[in-house]
Every structure is written in structure tokens, then in C-alpha cells.
Copies of this chain bind each other. A is one copy, B any other.
Amino acid sequence: MQDKLSELKSILAEVSDLNRAGAVLSWDQQTYMPRAGAEARGQQMGTLGKIAHEKFTDEKVGKFLDELKDAYHPESDEFALIKVTRRDYEKQTRVPADFVVEQAQVTAAAHEGWVAARSKSDFSIFEPHLEKVMDLTRRYIDFFPKADHPYDTLLDDYEPGMKTAEVKAIFAELRKKQVRLIQAIAEQTQVDDSFLHLKFSEVKQRAFGEKVITAFGFDTNKNRLDKAPHPFCTSFSVNDVRITTRYNEKFLNPALFGSMHETGHALYDGGINPSYDRTPLANGASLGVHESQSRMWENLVGRSFPFWEHFYPDLQKIFPSQFSDVKLRDFYKAINKVEPSLIRVEADEATYNMHIMLRLEIEIAMVENTVALKDLPDLWNARMKEYLGVVPPDDAQGVLQDIHWSFGGLGYFSTYALGNLISAQLWEKINSEITDLSTHIREGRFDSLLGWLHANIHVHGRKYEPQELIQKVTGSRLTPAPYLRYLENKFKDVYGL
């Protein structure tokens, strides 16, 4: 058995090396690559992906997985490795190679179409591409055993084990209460955040941001922060995890909270059991669990009052002309301002999930074929009015705002909202165990929080399925109640509800 396991592991190590080499190439493409290098870079990444796929889907791998299925104790790392590898193997071998090639071509064209459509704010340019993407999506679903709902197959790619019915039930509960909360807030005196929209030099933003994320646990011996058009986190090993950010010199929030967010991802990737490196276990449990970490550091920590009790004097020192006359309490209210808006990635904590629900409903309708694609802009705008009371003036600020459909990423959006819920569910548990956590935060100490997350979440990598992990850690499956409690408490505080 030991020989077979080590033979399997040496194949998985090669596949991991190829995938991580691909990740380095992608990181470089988004940070430093000269523009003209794009074509060759696409070929290089394509070759690495193709070889990784060939090696991983080799029959040998399936044979080892069969032979090793019952060889290890269900609680062991070896058992988890076989189980998770089996899951990936099933997914990758069910999809024929020529489908993958077709998908790459269709989505490459769809991406171009989306860019053009968005720049002209004209959905009809994107519609024929989306038609093809949806055709691929339905064929993709057919490669898998029939689920309770066809959308389950898509969800499962991003959030293993999550069902459409369960997400719908969770979101139904959220919608009712979040809509009420948003309405209640709308009736209060509005918050002034004009001082967040002054001039903030990139150099100073960077200096302050680095101070914050270093306090969180970001470590230049194994982490890097670079600039990129789109913020992301990427991991080349537990000892080399990098994030990016972009600076807006007219608005303090994006780079600051964006860096905290990406640091949350980076601390997760860097905290995975090093013995999982070069195996499929060396990743987060799911996108939702990953997002719970980024949201926790960004919102539950970074938008909390104790955090700013510690850091606001530093911020005032770095930006005296902007903040010397602004009281801590007013600053805190400003960074937590609620305002229904058009763009998901700019949404506040109270309204964010509404953007996700709208997308989930539309995606399910697309998969069920109960909506004509040409009607999407109207459907989108109607729902925006119903949920948030705002209507996009054009498609670019409406149905065309997100990249996800152009790459066929249906099923992805939910994980953002699930991440919010998981972050609050974990937060209640953490505060019950580290009862003086807010004192630590007020003192600028984050080691107790990070230590807890490392020991309870990070170290496990993909060993447990997301729901299994949440159950194990909090004692219950994913539930929206903690997040709703969190929102109500927070906005009671900010808006005096």
C-alpha cells in the first residue's frame, strides 16, 4: 500500500507543480508582464494546463485510487487525500478533452464579447456568446449523474456538497430580513463619508495598508503585495503566498479594505498543513470557506470599532489634513455607511448579499431555461428595483457588470454570500472561546484570532468538506442566523436603529 501511495503522490506532486507553475505565470501576467507578452503567455499556460490534465486523468491515477480506497482510517490524512483526489478525478475524467478545448474557445470569444458589450453598454453584443456558454453549461451538467436540481452540479464545483434547495432556503430567510434592515436604515439620518473621498497618495495608502496587514500576520518572508488591475490572492506553496491590490487616490477604501480582504485569503493559504503541499489537499475547503476568511479580516475585524480604536490615531498621523478634524466615531460610521448601489463589488455589508441573491435567481432561471436571454436586462433591472430600490441606467452598470458568465462561472456567485454567513458563524464561536478578543483587537493584537483560525480552519486544507468543517467547528451546519444578528447589532450601533 505504501508503495502505491507514494507512486500516486509523486504523480500528484508533478500535477501540483505544473498547476502552481501556471499560477506563477498567471500572477506575472497580471502584475509585471509587458503587454506584448500576452500571446506567448497564453500558449505557455495552455500547455501547462493540458499536461497537468493529461497526467491527472491518466488511468494509473484511477487505478491507485481504487486500490487505496479502503486502505486508511477514515480520520487519517491519507484517507482524506484519496477521497479528495477521487472527487477531482471524477470531475476531470467525466468531461471529455474535446469539450474542454471547445469550452476554452467559446469562453475566450465570450470574454472578448463581454468586454466589447460592456464598453458599449449593449447586452445584445454579449447575448449570442452567452447563448453558447449556456449551451456548454447544459452539456457540462449532462456529463454528471442527475442531481436533485441541474444547478446542483454547478454549485458543487465551487461549494462541494451544497444544494440548490439549501441555498434557496438560506437566501429566502436572508432576503426578507435584509430588505427590512435596508429599509429601516434608509429611514435614518444618512452618514457623511465625504472625508473618505479626498486625495490619498498611493505611497501613504501603501504604508498604512502594510502596517495593518503586517499586524494581521502578513510576512514578507513568505508573502508579497503587488499592484494589479484586479485584486487577487494566489499561492505557490504554503511558503509563498501573494496578494495584489489597486490604489484609487480619490477614495481610501478600495485598497485598504481590499488588502485586508486578500490578506484573509493569504493567511488561509499560508496556514495549510505543510505536509499537504503538492497534493490536492493543499487548498481551501471551498470558495465559500475561503471567502469567510477574507470577509472576516476585512469586515468583522477591519470594519469593527475596536480595530479603529487602535489604528485610527495612526491613520490620522499619516493623513492629518484629511482626518485630524474627524472623530473616531464618525470615521467608523463612514466606513460602515449603507447605501443601496448598482455595483456588487462596491456594495456595503448590508446590501451585498442582495446583489448575490438576484444573480442566483437569474442563474437558476437560465439553467432551467425559464427566461429568454434577451429578457435578462429587464429582469435584472426589475429585481434591482425590488431588492435595492435602484435601477441601472444602462447595461454596463447592470447585467453586464460581472465577468463570471463570460468564463462560464455559473454557480460561483453564491460563494460570496455564503462566505459572509460562514464568517459570522465562525465569529460567534471564536468570541465564545476567546472571550477577550475585542480587547486584543483594541490593542492591535491579532495572534489569538489567527492562532484559532490556523488551528481550526486553515491547517485542515481540503481534508473536510465545507459543511463537515463548519459542523465540526461550530456544532451546526451553515445557518444565516449569526450573520443576521451581526448585521442587526452593527447597524443598530451605526444608525441607532
Using a CB–CB cutoff of 8 Å, the interface residues on chain A facing chain B are: 13-14, 17-18, 20-22, 24-25, 28, 32-37, 39-41, 43-44, 46-48, 51, 220-224, 226, 236-237, 239-240, 242, 277-278
Shortest Cβ distance from A11 into chain B, in angstroms?
11
Q: Which residues of B contact A21 (CB under 8 A)?
A: 21-22, 25, 44, 47-48
- 16 A-B contacts (beta carbon < 8 Å): A14-B51, A17-B43, A17-B44, A17-B46, A17-B48, A21-B44, A21-B48, A24-B24, A24-B28, A32-B32, A32-B226, A34-B220, A34-B239, A35-B221, A37-B239, A41-B236
Given A236-B44, A239-B39, A34:B222 Cβ within 8 A = yes
In the docked arrangement, what's the CA distance between A161 and B14, Å? 37
Asked if residues A34 and B240 are in contact (CB atoms below 8 Å), the reply is: yes
Given contact pairs A17-B46, A35-B222, A40-B277, enumerate 4 new A-B contacts (beta carbons under 8 Å).
A13-B43, A18-B47, A18-B48, A37-B240
Shortest Cβ distance from A262 into chain B, in angstroms?
15
In the docked arrangement, what's the CA distance between A69 and B224, Å? 50
Q: Which of the residues B36, B44, B224 comes within 8 Å of A34, measured between beta carbons?
A: B224
Shortest Cβ distance from A233 into chain B, in angstroms?
14
In the docked arrangement, what's the CA distance between A48 and B222, Å? 22
In the docked arrangement, what's the CA distance between A220 and B34, Å? 6
Q: Which residues of B contact A220 (CB under 8 A)?
A: 34
Shortest Cβ distance from A472 into chain B, in angstroms?
29
Q: Which residues of B contact A25 (CB under 8 A)?
A: 21, 24
Given A17-B43, A278-B43, A240:B51 Cβ within 8 A = no
Q: Which residues of B contact A48 (CB under 8 A)?
A: 17-18, 21
Given A21-B21, A36-B221, A13:B47 Cβ within 8 A = yes
In the docked arrangement, what's the CA distance between A21 and B42, Å? 11
In the docked arrangement, what's the CA distance between A18 and B47, Å? 8
In the docked arrangement, what's the CA distance between A43 and B238, Å? 14
Q: Which residues of B contact A46 (CB under 8 A)?
A: 17
In the docked arrangement, what's the CA distance between A36 and B17, Å? 16
Shortest Cβ distance from A60 into chain B, in angstroms?
15
Given A14-B47, A25-B21, A47-B14, A40:B236 Cβ within 8 A = yes
Q: Which residues of B contact A224 (CB under 8 A)?
A: 32, 34
